[in-house]
Each structure stands twice: as C-alpha cells, then as structure tokens.
Structure 1
C-alpha cells in the first residue's frame, strides 16, 4: 500500500449520517494523519449530513460548501468564495448508510491485510485502503479540483492506472470492469469511443447493459469515484444558494428549507450525460429514492431543473481501469464472508492477532485483531474480528463473530456455531453505556423485500422452534410488508435483574435446554429491533474497545517477539502505542520482559525498545538521541546491571524513569540512559563468547625470550555491520573478508616476554626502537583505567586481564600475583604500521596479536578460533565493543567468510569461500563517502574492475582491483592531476596466506631494571 509520492490534499472531508459521530470520525482522521497516512498540512473535517437521508448528491454538495467555507475563512475572506477552489485538492469521502456487519459502517470495516511498510502499526480498514488508492493511485497527476469517493465498496487499483489529464475539463468518473451478470444489479456507464459518457444505467435491462460492453467483454461499472474540475465544482457550489438545492446543505436546513434527497450519480452526473434530454432528466427520479411522496417528487423536479441549468454544459468523461477491481459491500452475509476470507488462500489468515493454538484455525478462515487463548476452533469461511476469547470454543463454517470479550467466552462453551452472525455492540441508553448482542443467520436477508428468514429458517419455523410469537416482535398494526428482520424486536438491551450477555440471544439455537427459562428472560427484557439499535450505537465506545483490544494483542505480540528473539521490527508498534496513548502499558510490558529475560541479549533488546518508546514520546524534540549516559541519578540502576542483578536493575531503571517523563528534553536524556543500560547488557551478551576460549599448557618460555606475533591487515568485501552486536547474535551475521599484506609487510604485531621484575612493562607505537608510549605498572591501581579506551595502554592492560595473567579486582597485590604464578613480570610491546583510522581492522587485530603473544609468554597456546572469541571478550572488557569481522579476516589466512548464528552464547565460525563476482556495499550506508573520496573513485573508475572503502563504510583506505597489473605509478599520476584530494598515499597489497604468525626468539640478556624504554627489538 505504501507509495513514496501522492496527492498533497488541501482538505479531506468524511461525511457521516449521525450528529453524535462527527467528533468520533474527526478523531479517526486525525489519528491517520499522525500515522502519516494523510499529509501533515491537510485540513481534516468530519461533516454531518444535513439530514439522515440527504442522498449521496446532497452529502456531496454540503461537503463542498463546508470545504469552501473553511478554506475561505483560512484565506481571510468573510464570505464563502469559490476562488479558494482554484489551488485546492479536495477529497470527499462518503460514509454512506448503516452496515449490518460493522457498527461504524463500511468505511471502518477491518480487512484481513497488513501493511508491513507502514511507519505506524495499525489495523487496515476499508477507509485506509481507499485513502491510499485515492492518494497514490487515482489522484496523482490530477489538476486542482474535488475528488468524491464512496466508502461502500472494495477497490483494487494497479500502481499506475495510466490516467491522462491532458486537455481535461469538466467531470471525470472512474469505472472498473464487471461481468454482465453483476451489472444487472448495479450501475454501468454507456460511453462513446472517446470515453464521453452518454448515459448511466442502474439495474438496467439486458439490452441496455449489452450496449455498454467493451472490447474485453466486460462492462464499466459505476464505482463511486468522481472528479470535478474547479470549473465544474464552482458551478455545483453555486447551487447551494438556490432553492430547492439549498435544502441539501446545512445552511439551507438552518434557514428552514424542506430537506431534499439528491443522488450524486443519477441527479448530479446524469444531467451531464450526452444522450440525456432535459425533459427526461427533469421528469426522472434517482433509483435510491424509490416511489415516494408526490410532493417530494415535485420538489425534486425543481432541483433537477436547477442542476440542468448549472451543469449541463460541463463535459462528463470516463476513465476505465481494466486491471482494477470493484466490489460493492452488500448486506449479503455470504458475499461479505467471501470477501474477507479469500477462498484461494490455503491457510488461515491471522492478522494483528495472537493465537495460542493456530493449528485449530482451518484454511480459508480469517482472524483480525483478536486474542485467542486456549483451544478456539474456527471453521472454513468463518471470520473472527475484535474478539478476546478463552476456549474451549468451537465456531464452525460460515460464521462471523465480532465484538466479544473474555467475559462472554463462557456463553460459547459447549456450543457449535454454524452459518451464524454473532456480534457484540456498544450502545447508549438514556445516557448510559451498555452492551448488546445480536444474532442472525448467514442466509438471512437484511432487505425489506422478499420472504423473511431468521437464523437461516422461515419465520414460521423460527416461531415453532423457539416459542416466540409474532406479537413479541412487531406491533399488531405493523403491516405485513414491514414485518422483517430489520424491524423485529429480537435483541434484549436491558434486563430488570441482571446484565445481558451472548446467552440472551444464543438460547434461540437450542430453546428447550432450560425448560423455557431463557424465553421467559427474553420476554422480560426490553428489546429493540436492528433499526432501533442503529441510532443508539455508541461508535466512540466501539472504536475505543477495538483500539484497546488491538493494543492488548500488540503488547502480547511485543512480548512474544522479544522472548522468542524474532526478526521483527517493533518500531511501528511503538509509534502506534505512543501516538494513541498506550505508552504506559507498553513500557510496563517491556520492563517485565527485561526483568524476566533468560539471557542478556533479550533484556538488552527490551531496554532498547524502552529507549525507543521514550524517544518517540519526545516527538522529535528535546535534542539528539545520541549523547552521554552517565548522570549520577542513573548510576545505581547501572550498578545492579553490572553485577548481574537484572530484576533489581530493571526495577530501579523504571523508578528513575518516572522522574524524567515531564518534557521532551528529559525524555531524550532518559532514552540515552536506557541505551547506556542496553550497552551494559550487550556487553554481557557478547562476553558469552568466552565459552569458546580455551588454552592448552605448554612449556613456559625462559625469562627474556621474546614471543613475536605478526598479522596482516584486512579488507571486507560484504556483510560488514552484520558482525556487530546486537545484530550478530539477534539476527546472525556473515562477513566476507580478506587478509592482506600492505607493501609486502604484515603491518600489525606484538611481542611479549617474561621479566624478572614483578611488574608489567608496556610499550605502544611503531615497530622501531623508539616507542611513543611507555608505561610501567607496579600496582593494581596502575591497571584500573583498563576500561577507558583512550587511556594510555588501555588495550594492553585489558589483554593482561583477559589472558588471566592479572586479576584486577583481587585483594592480592600485583607484584605478589606475578611472583606466585610466573616468578616475575611481563613486558608487552604492540605496533601498527598503518595510519590511525585506516579502516583495515587495526585495533581488533592488534588485540588478537597481543593476546596470542601474552598467552604463549605465559606458557599457554590458544587456537586461532579461540583467539577470535577472546578478542570479542577483550573488546567488551575494554568497553569499545565491536564485532568479530576484523579479527576473523586478520587472524585467519586468505579469503574467508565468518558467520555467527542468531543465538547466545555468541559463537563465530569461519570457512574458506570463493569470491563472489560483485557486491553492493554502498547500499548499506548511503552517503557515507566524503566528497574527496567520491571524486577519487570517479577518476579511478576507468582503471579498476571495482573499488570500495575499507571499514565501516568510510574508512581511511580505499581498495580497488585494477584492470592491469602493476598500476601503482599510473594511479599516482592520475590522482596527482585531481585538485582538492588533500593528503593521500598509494600502497600495494597482496593476499596473505598465512594469517597470524607466532615465533619464539632468542634470549635477551638485559632483564633486570631495564624498563621498556631501554629495551629494543631483538
């Protein structure tokens, strides 16, 4: 459904029958605007029809007047002027008449579809589909004007229907293909070869419909979608001041005009049809009016004459959408179920629902916005909507059940429903809210015409089965022609002694089970007919109930997604909860998941979601999400998490959070601290990699004997970022990388040796004798900054800790630890010949080199795969974090792929792999290339098969594969001619087929009292 561009509507109007529904539907429009379904600047208006039966034409004229009035006021005019229409795109959506299968009408009937691209998670109603179609498919390209769209039909429109607006003027109707049989009960257009509408037939004869057949063998159905140009809209608007058409608007009604019913298609549009004569038009009547009062007919004759004068000269053309689909939402339950169950689908459709036992849902059934606990069986071609049920419940084939809560589940226990329509309704009686339940049969007719049925049987059969009599349902003076399902007082709304439930209508299925008690209770109740219920329906309560149930299942979904570690983004759900006032329950749910998590990965993700909720609550205000997270108020919760006390930590976080909810700036700062808490748990999750670190004892090198390790650099070809936590263990990662020598050398290395002094001598810098940083650690205090990455020698200090040479939290002094275990101390040098920020994996590979050298100097060997996991652990101890791709590519030889599965403990597996022909690195981080690099890549492109930036999208090295060998001098000459590149150098690389190398060198005689500054390379 989602499209990148669409109509930027000036005004959207939703018309409705009932005065008490205006604010309800106004809110629904505003909610959709917050969900970004409607442009932010669009004026939204829910407009009550002047009269309940004003007709589609009257509702259109009234809505157009209201739109023009609001636009005139916004433009500073003191009277309504049609000038405001010249730069306006207006969409009028008509709610239409009551619908027996949804208390909020056809517009708000939920469909069994989801929009996974939607920025905000929500149920998809027919209104949402039509909004999307009008905004992104039918509307784009149209000039300013007025679109009118009914909401009583289901439409499907291809992404680009190919509508041309060149040379358009007048009015345009949109038609969809239909069969001749379908057209017999519907409206069709008769057009010429140019698409000019000649006539409009409603329930036409076979001969009339045959004249409308197109070359594809189908007929163009009246779809309920119309576009009025500004010129035509001005002519139509002008009629609002002219009797009798003024009676179609609220202004006319307020002025005392007699109401008139007007059809959009068979009054307003028909007068523009080319074959229509004035005499036939003025004398006719719209089919929706039927045979009415002669006075009303005379009134309508005057209205049609006025329409003829204003609109006759306006062209009326049709656009046919051959690949589209149209289906009117009739009151036929069988057809309704057919549309919602998609018979071609071989599985149950579960949409925005949580189902404990989905195996009990049969193929071709549909479940929308439901919570089903325990065994709930749903048969084929059946639909459940807006229900929270607790089994055991058996609903057979051909049923529609809606609006039931857990309190009503017991009424369904022990029953087996077939071909039934059971609904729970919210109504308002004398100002008080109440619940009412209605029951009907799938085969029952909701029309007045024809032989009546109820519960799929004739009235006589029903009376005989239940003991109900016709005088229970209708007054004695009710004409036989009016005795139908719509007027039958079947449904209890108030009992003198108890609350009502589904059992008060379900008893009719098995009336003899309780010896007539249910019949007596039914007769003792105040009952209403379907017609009497409609104006009493509480649509606000209905939508609130649906919203509450949607979020109940959404919270369960969030919990399940987190606990089951599912690859599903929760941000649309978070935005929905925050936007519709459900942030509190969502935060409580996330707290429970985090506190009860079995591993730190799940808890970390839950806390990350809390941060997202808080950030969303700030609504884009309060500053950047990234920032410091060390406020003293949050230290205590963090300390609990560091100690592994997850439950107390989450509880303390929630208590502190309550103090930070009052304004956007505080919300953003709280979000940062939750991300800080998340990082603590991510660190603990990654540290599970230590499960795969093992060493083997070997002979301890003699004091003074150097252990030297050298490593290649690495370049990554594809998969970068998938190795970083939490992605690496939540979704799994895979990275293709290559070990390379730079200018023929392994540029990264370390060397370690035992010394007689019980101290640690550290040196960091180039490989030559002059070390840039030299540190001597004589006490544990000298090691305490191991977790501050920018502290001098922090990586080397962390290496001693992770290699279990030093226990930094021990009560035993450093010199005593070293003497007990090794009879002396250690000296460790590390170096890199690559520039800082090269993007070639220096820091992680350096950590691996240091660990390998230290372990061997301490009398242990460690395998390369164990070393990969040891580096993961070290980087968490160091608090730099990071993934595993650098050490995989730099410690292992050649070209290889590293993989981690979506699980904890975090384990990395490595295998050799052939090089793929291409990859798309830039797509992962668009815009990551600096301008100078982009220019460099442009000038080098003719000389290279391919090129990419090393590291995280924007590293310090650009690597490329040249088309010809030995091109270093050529490339240097090319780059020398390009201005603005700054400092750069060109290096040769070659594949390293050895990976990490380790060797023991000879003894050094200078051991006592030398210190790192006096010790050079051996």
Structure 2
C-alpha cells in the first residue's frame, strides 16, 4: 500500500515536472531573456549521420520549435573512425574553443553535449537515423511526434537556470526524467547526476558509491548485487545511486581536459592525434570520470575495462589523464523522484511500446502517436508517425514507425515496420527496416533489412546467434550456404552478415527481405534462393555505412504532412468547422508543401463533397493568415471552390442536347408574376440541396396589379438573332454561334438570352456551329427581348431567375414545343448553370406558376423537383390576402459576395449555419401545415421564427434601417420577414386582425415621409 502511494506520488511529481519542463522549453523558444543553452553539441558516428542530425535540427528551426538563442554543432567521429566517447568529448571541446564567441574561454557559457554516435547494433533500425532521433511514444503539446532529441531538449530546458557556466554531458540513448530544481550546481570539477534505482537495475549499469558527503567515492560498473551490497552501495530501501550518463563539468575541468591536447594554450595536432583515435578509443565514463572518484588509484585505473582494447597507447593516455584530472572531485547529485528509461534492444522496445506503455501513461505516452490509424478492434499495437490507409490489418504486438501502409497489407503478431512504404504485403513476425543507399551513377538503390525481434546483431554464428525463425547456423544449413557466402571476415556476427540484396526499388527490396524469413523456416523456393545468392548483398553494418541519411527528414516530413492532411480531412468529414479543422496544422496553419499536397488531392483524388470543403478551407486559411503560395491568392482558391460546384452540377445536367426546331408562332409574349419566399429559403441552393435536399414554401404575386416579368419573341425574315434587354436599354445583333456560346460574362447584357438558347438546345454549348444554317432550318431569324416592369433592382422578389423561366417558356411556345412544368424547371436549372450564377431553384418555380407552392428535392447532383400546390379554403385565402403586406425599404442591398458568404459558411461547417438551414426546412413544413389548417396567426409566428433563423444564417439580412422599419410598425403586425436574402428590397408582414394596409401605409409615411419606404400593392396569384 505504502509502495503504491509512493509510486502514485512519484508519478504525479514527474508528470508535473514534465509539464513544467515543457513550459520552460516554450519560454526558451519565445524569450531571448530566458536562461538557455549557449551551445548544444551532438556527436555522430560518421559524416552521413551527422548530416542527418543537421537536417533534423534545420527542420525544427524552420518550424520555430528550437530555442531562439542556442547555437548547434554536430560533430562526427573524425573520418568515421570510432574514437570513443572520451575522444568525441575532446573533439567537442576543441571545436567549441574555436568558436568566435568562445575563443578558448568557456566562462559564462552553458553548453549541452549529447553523445549519440553509436551504431545502434541492438536496435538496428536506428543505426542510420541515430538513436538520438528514435521515436518516443508521446505527441508533444504542439502536436509533433516526439523523439529522444526532443525529450532531451525539453527535459533539460530548465537546467541552464541552475548554473552559471559549464558543460552538461548526456548519453544519447537514455531518457532521464527529473525536475531541474533538484540540481545543486555548486561544485568543483564534475558533478555526476544520479537517481535512486533498485539494485536489480543497478547491477546492469553503472553505480556511484557515495562517500557520505555527497561526493563519489567509487565508480562501480556492472557489478553483482552481492558486490554492490558488500561495498555499501545499496541503501536500506534496496536502492543504489544509478549512473544516468549525465555529468556536469565546471570550466576548470573543461580547461583541464582541453589541456590534454594543447601546448601553450593552443591545440597541438600531435597530442590531439594521441588522444583522439580509433586505437586508444578514450571513454568519457571509464577514462575521464574514474580518476575523479575519491578512492580511485592509478594502478586500478590502468586495469579498468576500456571502450576498445588494452594497448600501450591507452596506458600512456591514461597516465596523462590521471595527472590532469585526479586533483578534481566529482560531486554526487542524487535526483529523487526521477525516472531512468533506457531504450535497449528491439525486443525491449517492442515490449515497452505494447505491453508496458500503460506504465508511462502519467507522461502522456500512448501506443498511437501522430497517426491517422484507428483500429476497429482492441489490439496491443503501437504506431508512430505512420499513415495507414485502406484495409490494412495490424495484429497484437506490432509496431509501425515512419511508414506508409496501404491496400490489403497485413502485419502479423510481433512485427516491426520502420521507414517503409508497403502495399498489399503480408509481413510475418519480423523486423522490416527500409534503407535508401547512396546513389550509384545517379541510380536510386534500396535495401530492406529483415531480422527477428529477438535477434541480437552482436551474436555470432559460433554463439548460435538467433536469426528470424531459427539461428544463423540453421539458416546456412537449410539453404546449402557456406560461411563465405555470407561473411568476408572472421567476425561471423549477424551485424556483418551479407544478407540484404541491393535493388532499384523498395518494393523489390521488401520481397527479398520476406524471402529471408522463408529461408529461415525451410519454406523458400529454391529458384528464388539461387537468385538471392547471385545478387550483390550488404550487411547491417555496410548498409549503415553507405546509407543515404539525407532522405530521412524529407520522408518523415512527407509522412507528417500526409498524416496531418488525413487528420484534417477526417475532421472535415466529421462535419467540423473549418476553423477548428485547420488547427490540425498548428498555429500558423498551412505551409507551402501542405498547400501543394491538398491542391493536388483536390484535383485528382477527393470526391466532390470533400474537394469543395478542402478548397474553401484553404482559401479561408490563406485569407486569415495573409498567405500566398506560388503567386496564388486566397480568392483564386475560393473561386475554384465555387467553380467546382457549378461544374459538378453542370456535368449532371442535360445541357448540350441540340435539337432541330421549327418556328411555330410569328410572335410570342410571356408575362410572369414575381414570388415571395416564406419557408426554407437557402435550402434550394447548391451544394446544400445536392447534399441534403431542399424544402421551400413560396407564393406567386402580382405587383401593383401586373405581372412584371416579360419576354417577347418575334420572327424575323433575316437569318440573324436580335437581342434586347429593355430594362438596360440594350440592343444587339448576333450572326454567329460563337457569339452566343460566349455567354459566361456576368456583365454581358445578353448573357441570359444566350444561355437560354443553349439550354433549350437551339445552339450547342461548344464546338463548331453554323448559325445561319440553324436559323434557316428553323424558318428564319428572331427577335428576343426581356423586361422587368416596375420592380426596383435588388427587390428580393426573384426577378432574375423568373426572367430565366420566362425565356424558356417563351422559347417553348415560339417553337411549338410542349414542355411540362418539370421540363421547364430542369431547363432553367441548366440555364443558370450555364450562366454560372450559382443560385438555387426556388425563384423560377415560384414565379412560373400561380399559387402557394411547397417545393422539395432529394439529395443528388441532378435535382428533381416535386412541386405541390397548397389547397387553401377560400376564407384562408381571403384572410391571407387581407393581412399580407409588402413594404419597400427604399434601399437596395449591395452584397456581391452574399451567396458565397452563406454557402461558404455551410461548406465550411459552421454549426450555426447548418442548424439554421435544417430549422428552415422544418419551418417550411410547419408553415404549410398551419396554412392548410387555416391558422394565419400560427403562420405569422412561424415567419417570425424564420426571420430569427435567417439573421443567424446571414447577419447582413437585416440592418439598422430594416430593424427601424419593423420597430415603427411593431404594434400593427403579427409576423415579419424579408424578401429574398434581405438587407434591402422588400419586407413582408402579416398585419394584426383589424389592421388595414392603409393604416400601415399611414404609419410609415408619418415616420419616413418621402424617403421611399412605403406599402406596395401585392396580390396573390391563385
């Protein structure tokens, strides 16, 4: 019970420390005044790995997620030779001393060194990228997938504030969790950072023996439990002071170390070569720290196990080191509570990520990190920075990192996939690690390393080292191999086994790696084995040495962007508002690469409903963030969004079905009423109606006793067409089909006339056509005029669309064609798509026939309209006529982007817009019900509800003038509404019983006098 309580308290402490460390890290990024590292130095195995490290740092700098003042150095072992962690430390000190702002003086500099130059033999998938940049199963608060490097920088962000100058050295494969407030940096020489850990853990690592005064008495490396207990290293709780690999050096000790390779304060090339070489292979821990322990002796120092091998050169180096360092001491800083996490073998890694991940829940570690993957069933699998699409199946104990899995790929139990793109592949229990090799003659080269979860690459043939389903010896026996087929030296370890064929594609390399598994279990085809033998093959070691590490960051960045995009798309698919969905990409939203990917997907992959939402979201982001990409501005992307809607609807239409007609009448004139809209307005507008279906209630009315919409056609003897737009006093003659096909200019006075001829199939939409021949076959040319009489512009009474309907009806009569109302509705919809107006269908339906109409459509790109006429009793008709009034506001709404604003809010997933549109459909249904019940009062109340919903949908539907008009006659009316989109034009009211239109007119004249606000005569067309 007490142990459980301690563990709980420890976890809470470390969790809060973790949170505090992140806050410190953010301050180090934002504030130059915050204490931070002057230099962060990474060591690497070779120049290729060093370049990979530099790429990782640059990638983070470009994302502004590294401390702002810190300088970064990456130093490979010279010439790729393994010079030991001590040799690497001397190289670090030399390089730092050469920096312009240091110039040999380390005072007032805070330096962090992370030794990370190992081969990662025990976890080979990290040999190329370096264990330092191996994944940690945590998604950082800023949304990034974490790595050991990120955790080091975050965890150590608070340390610079704890000491004035010096150097902190860390081991790159150990994650240390602690609170920097625990560090007391008052020391002379060095300070070893330790933590209390069970002796059972300590026996496999280094342990410090405290002298009773918090200084290191002895350094004990991998000693038995009995020895540790005998020497007094184990306390009463069964814990030891574990060596975490973290050591602080003061400036004096740094200078003492550097003096080993200097003469008269300057680097001596001969001395430097003596200490920094592959033969001496000086160890930081065994060679530099041992002399600092209180009980250390020179005699025993010579016997300490070296990082390389015993040799005269090492003995000479140790003599010089002892002379330089033995006068210094090593303080013991014991951190408690603290946590020491060592990323060991492949098997340990897999166990940590699948079986033991819950133990680190307090650190927000989780099995699924930075991925789009969500399993339909509960499995113990882990995914890190991986995109998983299609019908991919993951079994228990699988781990996928930095990979893209597609199609019908299946991963069986105990499977690790790293740095790969797999499609339609079944992978048995094994590790598959993709490695791009340096190009040869410009050609791409790949291998895929395949080995078992339990395999230790250090183990040899002679040690019966395991390999996949068997061991190295059984692999040789089963496939009739000789040792020289696989090894070129006496070292018969898995690390040096030439097993992996070089190919020109990753796909081929995967197939060879899978063959190795079959070869290990006597299931391989002999022909394929023979082919495998004939191929050039590399070992784990060789592939590490000739790997092209420059591809790692671009690949990971590509994956990261694709995962972010998939997450973004999933949020849009779930109906989230685009503002929230864009947060997927972080505070700066889209960058250029993400923009390019999304635009390409919109063009080639995404279905219509996703494409328009992606384009709209991109346009909003670019506008808000004030970004342009490749010279493309937000309004161009927005235009593409709305053009896509029009194009998709147009594709579903029957436009371009050219027919042969004969003129049947010498003259035709069609007059139509205007309409007033009541319920469901905007639900008839694409793409809402295409996705959800529309429901509208509207009515046809005469204005001041007349039908205002007029279209006239007259036969002409000449074979040409004359157009007239009498409202605009515009007249024109066309003599070619091309002039008519040019109908997309919204400023063309005859765009409607031309579109009507195309929609009705008189003129083809595109392609060659002879107008004179067409007219000759029709029996002559004709004159076509349009006019809207006595209706102000921007009235909200649907005049533009009703005029389209009048054109189609007039052309039908003129040509002797019997079109049903449904045919005309469809032709008008096509006409409006040709004109690219982007509007809905309710206006033309409202004016083409009389009566109050309940119009519905089902979802679909091709809208099939069902029009039902309300059958009202005579008393209801009379009451509605008596109480309905139309008020002209005296103003015209100027809102060119109104349609885009409202439709954009719907496309963009604005919750209020979606809810308002659904509510409007419901209100249209209820309005019909109340009118058919004869309850005009209830109808008036529903109009008021709809008015409130319209304001939510479009705040511009009202303004101060409209509010004032309604307020001035509030006591005279029971219901109020706008015409069309509102914002000007006409208002509709339902008068209280007993209130006449004259009383309303008198009130408005009293208030507004000669301003134009007045009641107009409106009469329903039954």
How far off its partner does 1:491 sit?
1.9
Q: Which residue of 2 aligns with 1:911?
A: none
Contact (CA 8 Å) 2:622, 2:628: kept in 1 or not? no
Determine which of 389, 395, 412 is the counterpart of 1:373. Answer: 389
Q: Which residue of 1 aligns with 2:259?
A: 238
The answer to whether 1:312 aligns with 2:326 is yes
Q: Which residue of 1 aligns with 2:371?
A: 353
How far off its partner does 1:229 sit?
2.4
Equivalent-residue separation in structure 2 for 1:31 and 1:230 (angstroms): 32
Q: Which residue of 2 aligns with 1:32?
A: 60
How far off its partner does 1:58 sit?
1.7
The answer to whether 1:645 aligns with 2:664 is no
Equivalent-residue separation in structure 1 for 2:646 and 2:380 (angstroms): 48
Q: Across the two proteins, how many residue pairs are aligned to each other? A: 711
How far off its partner does 1:540 sit?
1.1
For the residue of structure 2 that corresponds to 1:224, the secondary structure is strand
Contact (CA 8 Å) 1:153, 1:327: kept in 2 or not? yes
**Structure 1 residues 578 and 97, CA gap change in structure 2 (3 angstroms):** farther
Equivalent-residue separation in structure 1 for 2:440 and 2:643 (angstroms): 59
User: CA offsets, 1:671-703, max 9 Å, x none?
Assistant: xxxxxxxxx99x999999999999999xxxxxx
Contact (CA 8 Å) 1:577, 1:583: kept in 2 or not? no
Determine which of 173, 182, 190 is the counterpart of 1:152. Answer: 173
How far off its partner does 1:612 sit?
5.9
Tell me the C-alpha RMSD between the 2 structures. Answer: 5.3
Q: Which residue of 2 aligns with 1:262?
A: 282
Contact (CA 8 Å) 1:350, 1:367: kept in 2 or not? yes
User: CA offsets, 1:885-927, max 9 Å, x none?
Assistant: xx9xxx9xxxxxxxxxxxxxxxxxxxxxxxxxxxxxxxxxxxx
Equivalent-residue separation in structure 2 for 1:643 and 1:101 (angstroms): 45
For the residue of structure 2 that corresponds to 1:501, the secondary structure is helix
Q: Which residue of 1 aligns with 2:703?
A: none
Q: Which residue of 2 aligns with 1:322?
A: 336
Equivalent-residue separation in structure 2 for 1:125 and 1:46 (angstroms): 17
Q: Which residue of 2 aligns with 1:842?
A: none
Q: Which residue of 2 aligns with 1:129?
A: 151
Equivalent-residue separation in structure 1 for 2:592 and 2:114 (angstroms): 23
Q: Which residue of 2 aligns with 1:101?
A: 125
User: CA offsets, 1:441-487, max 9 Å, x none?
Assistant: 22222224744222252333223333333232234xx44xx222122
For the residue of structure 2 that corresponds to 1:351, the secondary structure is strand
Question: Which moved further from structure 2: 89-98 or 441-450?
Answer: 441-450
Contact (CA 8 Å) 2:156, 2:180: kept in 1 or not? no
Contact (CA 8 Å) 1:423, 1:439: kept in 2 or not? yes
Determine which of 545, 548, 552 is the counterpart of 1:538. Answer: 548
How far off its partner does 1:336 sit?
2.0
**Structure 1 residues 366 and 576, CA gap change in structure 2 (3 angstroms):** farther
- For residues 209-224 of structure 1, what are the structure 2 equivalents within 5 Å? 209-210=228-229, 211-224=232-245
Equivalent-residue separation in structure 2 for 1:258 and 1:874 (angstroms): 75
Equivalent-residue separation in structure 2 for 1:879 and 1:169 (angstroms): 76
Q: Which residue of 1 aligns with 2:137?
A: 112
Structure 1 unaligned segments of length 5 or more: list them: 623-627, 650-679, 698-776, 787-803, 813-819, 831-847, 881-886, 892-996
Q: Which residue of 1 aligns with 2:887?
A: 826
For the residue of structure 2 that corresponds to 1:537, the secondary structure is coil
For the residue of structure 2 that corresponds to 1:124, the secondary structure is strand
The answer to whether 1:443 aligns with 2:463 is no
How far off its partner does 1:422 sit?
1.9
- For residues 602-1001 of structure 1, what are the structure 2 equivalents within 5 Å? 604-611=616-623, 615=627, 641=642, 645=646, 780-781=792-793, 826=887, 860-862=940-942, 865-873=945-953, 875-877=955-957
Question: Which moved further from structure 2: 267-276 or 5-14?
Answer: 5-14
Q: Which residue of 2 aligns with 1:396?
A: 412
Contact (CA 8 Å) 2:218, 2:294: kept in 1 or not? yes
Equivalent-residue separation in structure 2 for 1:522 and 1:629 (angstroms): 54
Equivalent-residue separation in structure 2 for 1:483 and 1:643 (angstroms): 63
For the residue of structure 2 that corresponds to 1:274, the secondary structure is coil
Q: Which residue of 2 aligns with 1:423?
A: 433
Equivalent-residue separation in structure 1 for 2:607 and 2:957 (angstroms): 24
Q: Which residue of 2 aligns with 1:981?
A: none
Contact (CA 8 Å) 1:488, 1:529: kept in 2 or not? yes
Equivalent-residue separation in structure 1 for 2:695 and 2:583 (angstroms): 36
Equivalent-residue separation in structure 2 for 1:107 and 1:32 (angstroms): 15
How far off its partner does 1:859 sit?
8.5
The answer to whether 1:302 aligns with 2:319 is yes
How far off its partner does 1:366 sit?
0.8
Equivalent-residue separation in structure 2 for 1:873 and 1:491 (angstroms): 63
User: CA offsets, 1:396-416, max 9 Å, x none?
Assistant: 22221222223xx45x34xx6
Equivalent-residue separation in structure 1 for 2:543 and 2:251 (angstroms): 41
For the residue of structure 1 that corresponds to 2:562, the secondary structure is helix
**Structure 1 residues 96 and 616, CA gap change in structure 2 (3 angstroms):** farther
Equivalent-residue separation in structure 2 for 1:232 and 1:16 (angstroms): 23
TM-score (norm: length of structure 2) = 0.60
Equivalent-residue separation in structure 2 for 1:785 and 1:139 (angstroms): 71
How far off its partner does 1:827 sit?
7.6
The answer to whether 1:337 aligns with 2:350 is yes
Determine which of 536, 543, 556 is the counterpart of 1:526. Answer: 536
**Structure 1 residues 372 and 878, CA gap change in structure 2 (3 angstroms):** same
Equivalent-residue separation in structure 2 for 1:690 and 1:392 (angstroms): 33
The answer to whether 1:67 aligns with 2:67 is no
**Structure 1 residues 536 and 614, CA gap change in structure 2 (3 angstroms):** farther
Determine which of 466, 481, 484 is the counterpart of 2:493. Answer: 484
Equivalent-residue separation in structure 1 for 2:296 and 2:495 (angstroms): 37
How far off its partner does 1:262 sit?
1.6
The answer to whether 1:197 aligns with 2:205 is no
**Structure 1 residues 390 and 1006, CA gap change in structure 2 (3 angstroms):** closer
Contact (CA 8 Å) 2:52, 2:129: kept in 1 or not? no
Contact (CA 8 Å) 1:690, 1:869: kept in 2 or not? no
How far off its partner does 1:564 sit?
2.4
Equivalent-residue separation in structure 2 for 1:12 and 1:326 (angstroms): 22
For the residue of structure 1 that corresponds to 2:27, the secondary structure is coil
Equivalent-residue separation in structure 1 for 2:510 and 2:649 (angstroms): 45
User: CA offsets, 1:806-836, max 9 Å, x none?
Assistant: 99x9999xxxxxxx97897538899xxxxxx
Equivalent-residue separation in structure 1 for 2:515 and 2:199 (angstroms): 43
The higher radius of gyration belongs to: 2
How far off its partner does 1:213 sit?
2.0
How far off its partner does 1:193 sit?
3.7
Equivalent-residue separation in structure 1 for 2:693 and 2:445 (angstroms): 60
Equivalent-residue separation in structure 1 for 2:63 and 2:125 (angstroms): 26
Equivalent-residue separation in structure 1 for 2:86 and 2:370 (angstroms): 37
Contact (CA 8 Å) 2:77, 2:117: kept in 1 or not? no
Determine which of 354, 371, 385 is the counterpart of 2:401. Answer: 385
How far off its partner does 1:147 sit?
1.7
The answer to whether 1:508 aligns with 2:516 is yes
Structure 2 unaligned segments of length 5 or more: list them: 1-18, 29-34, 651-681, 700-788, 799-840, 850-879, 892-919, 921-926, 928-934, 961-965, 971-989, 1014-1022
Q: Which residue of 2 aligns with 1:43?
A: 71
Contact (CA 8 Å) 1:384, 1:400: kept in 2 or not? yes
For the residue of structure 1 that corresponds to 2:405, the secondary structure is strand
Contact (CA 8 Å) 1:244, 1:302: kept in 2 or not? no
Equivalent-residue separation in structure 1 for 2:693 and 2:544 (angstroms): 66
Contact (CA 8 Å) 1:575, 1:613: kept in 2 or not? no
Contact (CA 8 Å) 1:436, 1:491: kept in 2 or not? yes
**Structure 1 residues 56 and 870, CA gap change in structure 2 (3 angstroms):** same
**Structure 1 residues 494 and 572, CA gap change in structure 2 (3 angstroms):** closer
**Structure 1 residues 427 and 614, CA gap change in structure 2 (3 angstroms):** farther
How far off its partner does 1:637 sit?
6.2
How far off its partner does 1:188 sit?
1.1
Equivalent-residue separation in structure 2 for 1:572 and 1:873 (angstroms): 26
How far off its partner does 1:998 sit?
10
